Amino acid sequence: MTSIAGKVAQQQARAGGVGTNDTAVKFGDQDYKTLRSRCLQQGKLFEDDLFPAGSWALGYQELGPLSPKTQNLVWKRPKELCPNPCFIIDGATRTDICQGILGDCWLLAAIASLTLDEDILARVVPQGQNFEENYAGIFHFQFWQYGVWVDVVIDDRLPTRNGQLVFVHSHDCMEFWNALLEKAYAKLNGCYEALTGGNTTEGFEDFTGGIAESYKLKKAPPQLFNIIQRALKLKSLLGASIMTTNAYDREAEMALKLVKGHAYSITGAEEVHMQGRSIQLLRLRNPWGKVEWTGPWSDRSGEWDKIDPSEKARLRSVAEDGEFWMAYPDFIQQFTDLDICNLTPDTLTSNKLGSWNYYEFNGQWRVGSTAGGCLNNRATFASNPQFSIKLEEVDDNPFDGKHGCSFLVGLMQKDVRKSRRLGQDLNAIGFCIYEVPSEFQGCTDVHLGLKVFLQHQPVANSSTFTNSREVCDRFQLPPGEYVIIPSTFEPHKHGSFLLRVFTEKQASTRPMAAGLSMNVVQNKISKDDMDPQFKQLFKEISGNDSELSAPELLQVLNHVLSKKTSIPSEGITLETCRSIVNLLDKDGNGKLSLTEFHVLWMKIQQYQKIFRSADADNSGAMNSHEMREALSQAGFQVNNAVLQVIVSRYANSESSVDFDSFLSALIRVEMLFRMFEKLDMNKSGKIQLDMSQWFCVAMN
């Protein structure tokens, strides 16, 4: 229950504006200014107890306590490494980024691109930090994480060997902003080792909050060079890599000194003129700060002597800094993947620049309720979360002459790096898009059922289901209302996700979820209308007071249900009987009268009929994915959040629900509806309770 309360509190905080770059969420509730002031008052240097300097912060396997890579490491502060350390020297530049023993070149390529824009850099690296004024051994950085900005505090103890930093470092041994940034990102993700291996787009997005597009260069669109140029002018972040085919290829040098499985940042795109023809060039950087391309247009290539001296002077660099030029055709031939992170984000493939409109939704796949898997799993697919998007305006300047509405969809699974330490694998994720049938268009409280998906085909899909952090694709569809269904490839996979939608024109989006409502008719019947045999039976079991207490009700129900061979029962619990009494007891004496017991009996008969219908294989249990429909037949409409709570409480480890649990769930749901209705006297959909009232209601 406390975890659910925590999620509600987070939702309320985000609704209040917490999570923007200006009002970032404090990681671990650590406040930078408070901690620094305390250290200055006490005359102590900050020591981070949430991320202590030691083996836990380094890793668990390759950087674990027994790994050769972690032997003889000593954690030292910059002031212990040099007499006058600096946070940033002459501004942060892409040449500040030199890789250490950690395999996080993907991250370093993103950091190198980050330095190309001072405004973007300032969002991640708050200004005013240094080793002189008010130095207390504490620093902080901000990262975008699944829809919110997070402020991460660290101390400045860094892992070293023989007096040298072992992870990222600068060419200038007195500069430390990059090493501290890497440590903050490691803390955010659990440890340094969690940063090993990845895609540059992940770093791009966590530094900007933008959305990344990926291109396979074997299928590069003809206008890709122009896209790159426009992206750089928009100060978008770009990264390129060469795919590996086996483990031995990773970081292996090729014949012309390009490195496989390595993330390069693209920092320039220019056209030069050589002997009467135009040559397209790209400037790339290896985050190692060395090992450069040695082919045409490399630093010492003869091609530079064949162009205008002014162009040569403007572009050429011969320093061994890891940065180099290469011809665009060579780039397409040598590299396999290109990633572009749209910052605003702006469209890069239309003839007219236009900013996108942004929408996001947080969701969960929960085993037994909303983890339905992909389209291959017809029985459970409809239980996945659903999100509506209504496109009404076509693009101003259609790309390739096709009229339609352009939009991007990005599906991101959460906390993927933190889960590595626990040995958890990523889910294979993807999504499909359906046109909403005409009878459901404009409906605000609906969750599309299996019948809809059996009768219609999707109009678009993610390009693939993949076990990466994010799947992102660009689409162009005619105006209309559509539903996006994010899912894991296999059903019954637990996970949390962020769904982001960027549209070129204004659109309306919302979760396509049933609202909360109850349509249960309370049958009123007088004693005179009751079956005489029923009244006689009640008289016999109720005793002298002609009423049933919860313990007495327990005996009666278990005796009756044990004789119902069509629905196996292991016995109703006393807690369920107390809930029944609380629901049906009108005079407040804690017992059921004859008429109240009759209402209960009618409910049980109705619920048995619904249960038998859902128990298709007559196993004595219903699949929890059927719970939504069963609740609907009983008169209750619930959304995904409530459904997940119901299933987590009443389904067993095999995601099935027996009749006893089903009865308990329905009684509890009706009681909560009735309690809320009584407290919501103004019919506003909200209630306000003080702590005493809250306890009385919650304990009921």
- CATH of residue 381: 2.60.120.380
Does pTM top 0.85 for this prediction? no
Whether residue 598 lies inside any domain: the answer is: yes
Which residue among 298, 315, 342 closes a domain? 342
Q: Has 286 been annotated as catalytic? A: yes
> Which residues, in sequence order, are bridge partners of residue 413?
497
Q: Rounded distance, CA 166 to CA 513, Å?
A: 50
Burial class (CB in 10 A: 0-12, 13-18, 19+), 326: buried
**Residue 352 falls within a domain, yes or no?**
no
Do residues 81 and 181 share a domain? yes
Same domain as 215, residue 199 = no
Rounded to whole angstroms, how far apart are CA atoms 167 and 362?
A: 34
pLDDT digits (tens, 9 = 90+) for 398-456: 555 567 888 889 999 998 888 777 777 889 999 999 999 999 998 878 889 889 999 99
Q: Is the pLDDT at 354 greater than 60, yes or no?
A: no
Q: What is the pLDDT of residue 318?
A: 57
Say if residue 607 is in the same domain as residue 687.
yes
Return the residue matching tokens 């109703």. 572
Beta strand pairing call for 460-461 and 337-342: unpaired
- Residue range 494-521: average pLDDT? 87
Q: Report which of residues 37 and 66 the model is more confident about.
A: 37
Nearest C-alpha neighbor of 300 from the set 257, 242, 241: 257
Same domain, 389 and 361: yes
Does residue 44 or residue 10 have the better pLDDT?
44
What's the confidence (pLDDT) of residue 320?
A: 59
Per-residue pLDDT averaged across 467-482, rounded? 91
Q: Please check whether residues 220 and 270 belong to one and the same domain.
A: yes
One domain, residues 503 and 568: no
**Res 247 pLDDT > 70:** no
Highest mean pLDDT of the ranges 115-119, 269-273, 674-678: 269-273
Domain contains 445: yes
Q: Is 262 designated active site?
A: yes
Asked if 494 and 389 sit in the same domain, the reply is yes
Candidate list 178, 189, 199, 286, residue with the active-site label: 286
The mean of the pLDDT values for the chain is 86
* 21 catalytic per annotation: no
With respect to residue 18, please indicate whether it lies within any of the assigned structural domains: no
Boundary (domain end) residue, out of 182, 208, 234: 208
Shared domain for 269 and 191, answered yes or no, is no
Please check the confidence at residue 528 and state whether its pLDDT lies above 70: no
Residue 306, in any domain of the structure: yes
Give residue 396's pLDDT band: very low, low, confident or very high (50, 70, 90).
Answer: confident
- Give the chain's largest Cα–Cα span: 111
- The reply to whether 636 falls in a domain is yes
Catalytic residue (one of 39, 98, 105, 341): 105
Residue 599, domain CATH: 1.10.238.10
Domain final residue pick, 146, 175, 208: 208
Per the domain annotation, does 2 fall within a domain? no
63 and 165: one domain?
A: yes
Write the CATH number for 312: 3.90.70.10
What's the pLDDT band for 16 if we cut at 50, 70, 90?
A: low
When divided into structural domains, the chain yields a total of 4
For 281-307, how does the pLDDT look when each residue is reduced to its tens digit (9 = 90+)?
A: 999 988 777 789 999 999 889 999 999
Neighbours of 337 (CB within 10 A): 18
How many CB atoms sit inside 10 A of residue 541's CB? 14
**Residue (of 225, 291, 23, 30) closest to 138 by Cα position:** 30
Beta strand 429-435 with 460-461 is: antiparallel
pLDDT in tens, 176-199: 999 999 999 999 999 999 999 888
Do 582 and 504 have their domain in common? no
Q: Which of 262, 447, 598, 625 is catalytic?
A: 262
Q: Residue 95 and residue 90: Cα distance in Å, rounded?
A: 12
- pLDDT score for 11: 53
Three-state DSSP state, 333: helix
The boundaries of the domain holding residue 67 are: 26-208
User: Which residue type sits at 255?
Assistant: A
**Helix axis angle, 574-584 to 594-614, nearest 10°:** 120
| CA–CA dist 107, 105 (Å, integer) | 5
Residue 434 in any domain: the answer is yes
CA distance 512 to 394: 23
pLDDT at 6 over 60: no
Amino acid identity of residue 311, one-letter, is E
Confidence of residue 18 (pLDDT cuts 50, 70, 90): low
Q: Are residues 35 and 148 in the same domain?
A: yes
Q: Distance between CA 40 and CA 134 in Å, rounded?
A: 7
Q: Are residues 294 and 193 in the same domain?
A: no
